[in-house]
Amino acid sequence: MSHPGASVPEVAKVFGLNEKQLIDDLQLVWMCGLPGHTPGDLIDVSWDGGEILIDNADTIARPLKLGVDEASALLVALRMLGELPEFAGGEVLGRVVAKLEQAAGDGAAAVSTQVTVEVEAAPGALATVTDAARRKRRLSLVYYTPGRDEVTPREVDPLRVVLVDGRHYLEGWCYRAEAMRMFRVDRIQEVAVLDVAADPPAEAEPMDVTQGVFRPSDTDELVELEVTPSGRWISEYYPVEEVEELGEGRQRVALRARDQGWLVRLALRLGDSGRVVRPESLAERVAETAKRTLANYEGSL
């Protein structure tokens, strides 16, 4: 708009495109503009004679205002980015966050009080594992596994550090498990870089984390749960084998898990919004755990 009559070859060169790519993009401009989608609402563009002319594009000059949901998503992402070692102490990121908070107003305040990024790892754990992955050096870890409530020493050849669902994970070849493993960084209690080059076996391949980290195996135990409407989040939050609608908002959900301890905690978390149907041994274990827990509360009164 600030260079009316610029030629197609000139503009293509400025943007590093060939002329066909530029014209393909210009044809999309006809579809842009204000809601209503009539010719008077949309931008008009022409390139007859090789000169590009744009009209009815006053809306481009208007500064766009972020919605609360858009500003919140950006703020959360920027704060997570700020936890990465390469951005530690960065002034630019801080200024961007401050501007977004000012622009978002009350929405930013809600994000500040309601959203927190948990980073409770050993001091410097994220920086250490990130550096080791880049330099391809073996790591020595002391790692907490909540499913078994145990702390174990590990030696790991790191492949990468990824951010999934707001948490940092170290992915690498674990010599204890003799397999690829994902380690949540905030569960690493101790970490040290060894004077050994990482040398994972040929079969060590990164996992596809686009659908999350948790990946049940066909050999894991199959469990059936019945949930009320308030427990339907189970089938949305976890990978499930099957979901059957039972009417009145209730569901029967089948899922796999390799650790019964995790399933016991999940069932207790559901409370009266769900129950274990199969296997019976798990249902009995949940009931017994619930009784012991209630007895502890009664004893403390």
Task: Examine the domain organization and report whether 34 and 54 are in the same domain.
Answer: yes
Q: Does pLDDT of 133 surpass 80?
A: yes
Q: Does pLDDT of 112 surpass 50?
A: no
CA distances from 266 to 174, 213, 257 (A): 27, 17, 11
Reduced to 3 states, what is the DSSP secondary structure of residue 13? helix
* Contacts for 34 with CB less than 8 Å, ≥ 6 apart: 41, 42, 59
Reported as a single tens digit per residue, the pLDDT across 197-252 is 999 998 888 877 665 666 666 667 788 989 888 888 877 767 777 888 888 888 89
Q: Does pLDDT of 141 surpass 90?
A: yes
Instruction: Determine which helix (DSSP H) or strand (DSSP E) holds 216, and give its type and residue range.
Output: none
Task: Examine the domain organization and report whether 129 and 176 are in the same domain.
Answer: yes
Distance CA 151, CA 113 (A): 32
Burial 232-258 (b: 16+ CB within 10 A, else e): bebbeeeebeeeeeeeeebbebbbbbe
Task: Examine the domain organization and report whether 17 and 79 are in the same domain.
Answer: no
Task: Examine the domain organization and report whether 50 and 75 are in the same domain.
Answer: no
Task: Examine the domain organization and report whether 109 and 156 are in the same domain.
Answer: no
Task: Examine the domain organization and report whether 290 and 227 are in the same domain.
Answer: yes
Confirm whether 72 is domain-assigned: yes
What mean pLDDT is reported for the chain? 80
Task: Examine the domain organization and report whether 176 and 135 are in the same domain.
Answer: yes
**pTM exceeds cut of 0.85:** no
* Contacts for 88 with CB less than 8 Å, ≥ 6 apart: 82, 127
CA distances from 239 to 98, 180, 216, 283, 297 (A): 38, 20, 8, 21, 33
As a whole number, mean pLDDT of residues 80-87 equals: 68
The answer, yes or no, to whether the previous bond of 279 is cis (omega within 30 of 0) is yes
Confirm whether 206 is domain-assigned: no
Task: Examine the domain organization and report whether 190 and 131 are in the same domain.
Answer: yes
Confirm whether 100 is domain-assigned: yes
Confirm whether 215 is domain-assigned: no
Could you give the number of structural domains in the chain?
4
200 close to 173: Cβ distance less than 8 angstroms = yes
Q: Which of 41, 60, 79 is the last residue in one of the domains?
A: 60
Confirm whether 301 is domain-assigned: no
The CATH number assigned to the domain holding 193 equals 2.30.30
Burial 186-204 (b: 16+ CB within 10 A, else e): bbbeebeeeeeebebeeeb
- Residue 274's domain spans which residues? 221-296
225 close to 252: Cβ distance less than 8 angstroms = yes
Confirm whether 151 is domain-assigned: yes
216 close to 255: Cβ distance less than 8 angstroms = yes
Confirm whether 275 is domain-assigned: yes
Task: Examine the domain organization and report whether 187 and 168 are in the same domain.
Answer: yes
Q: Does pLDDT of 115 surpass 50?
A: no
* Token duo for residue 52: 């590009």
* Token duo for residue 216: 């049940």
Confirm whether 208 is domain-assigned: no
Task: Examine the domain organization and report whether 225 and 291 are in the same domain.
Answer: yes
